[in-house]
């Protein structure tokens, strides 16, 4: 691989990286907005949604989507040479040299030799820079909103009937646990006291009742 071809390949890679950074920030902003909406709805109505897995899925989708999007629009070697010519102000000397590679015409060989000479003193990094993508601000805002969405009070828009039902379920469970604890203590006393042995069957029947009835 000649010096000219290496410079063009390096230019391609830097252009691809700039494009991917742009795409991943844009996809990340979209994923962050979707995650924020999902968390807000989940907390307002207390839906049984696995928020953690939703977030992981959206992050994975953003990474895969941005990579595929970048690969389908990545710059070719011809375009990379033209971009480097434009950035370095070389008036298509590099792209012309690449086009003339392998041509036996003396003029074409002179063009290739000139392009090789120019590329030998050229720094791709100084002309094709890695720059912050434009959607970076949107991605940061989406991340902040996603974090703030957890501050939404849980069950704020949940219906009164649902809240009362949830409260009653909790109270029944607490009552059941408390009564079972008392029954365990009484059963232990009956097992260790011969005079109370006749009540063992009655205790076994009580365990079948719900906490509310007890």
Query: CA-CA distance, 198 to 203, in Å (whole number)?
Result: 10
User: Number of C-alpha atoms within 13 angstroms, CB side, residue 40?
Assistant: 11
pLDDT for residue 169: 65
Question: What average pLDDT does the segment 110-134 reach?
Answer: 89
How many residues in the chain?
214
Which of 43, 49, 45, 48 lies closest to 157 in space, CA to CA?
45
| pTM for this model (two decimals) | 0.69
Taking each helix axis from N to C end, the angle separating 136-148 and 3-45, rounded to the nearest 10 degrees, works out to 30
What are the angstrom distances between the C-alpha of 198 and each of 179, 185, 190, 194, 204?
21, 16, 8, 8, 11
Q: Of the segments 21-25, 43-47, 171-175, 203-207, which one has the largest average pLDDT value?
A: 21-25
Banded pLDDT at 110 (limits 50, 70, 90): very high
Question: What average pLDDT does the segment 28-47 reach?
Answer: 92
Which residue in the block uniquely carries the two structure tokens 């949107």? 138
- Chain-wide mean pLDDT for the chain? 83
Contact by Cβ (8 Å): 98, 108: no
Q: Of the segments 150-154, 156-160, 167-171, which one has the largest average pLDDT value?
A: 150-154
């Amino acid at each position: 691989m000649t010096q000219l071809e290496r410079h063009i390949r390096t230019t391609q890679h830097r252009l691809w990286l700039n494009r991917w950074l742009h795409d991943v920030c844009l996809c990340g902003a979209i994923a962050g907005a979707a995650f924020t909406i999902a968390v807000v709805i989940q907390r307002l109505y207390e839906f049984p949604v696995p928020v953690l897995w939703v977030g992981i899925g959206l992050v994975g989708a953003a990474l895969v989507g941005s990579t595929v999007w970048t690969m389908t629009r990545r710059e070719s070697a011809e375009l990379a040479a033209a971009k480097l010519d434009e950035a370095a102000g070389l008036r298509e000397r590099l792209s012309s040299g690449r086009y003339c590679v392998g041509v036996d015409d003396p003029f074409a060989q002179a063009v290739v030799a000139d392009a090789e000479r120019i590329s030998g003193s050229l720094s791709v990094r100084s002309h094709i820079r890695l720059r912050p993508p434009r959607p970076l601000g949107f991605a940061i805002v989406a991340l902040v909103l996603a974090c703030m969405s957890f501050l939404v009070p849980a069950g704020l828009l949940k219906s009164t009937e649902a809240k009362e039902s949830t409260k009653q379920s909790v109270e029944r469970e607490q009552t059941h646990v408390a009564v079972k604890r008392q029954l365990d203590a009484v059963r232990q006393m009956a097992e260790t006291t011969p005079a109370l042995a006749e009540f063992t069957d009655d205790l076994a029947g009580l365990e079948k009742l719900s906490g509310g009835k007890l």
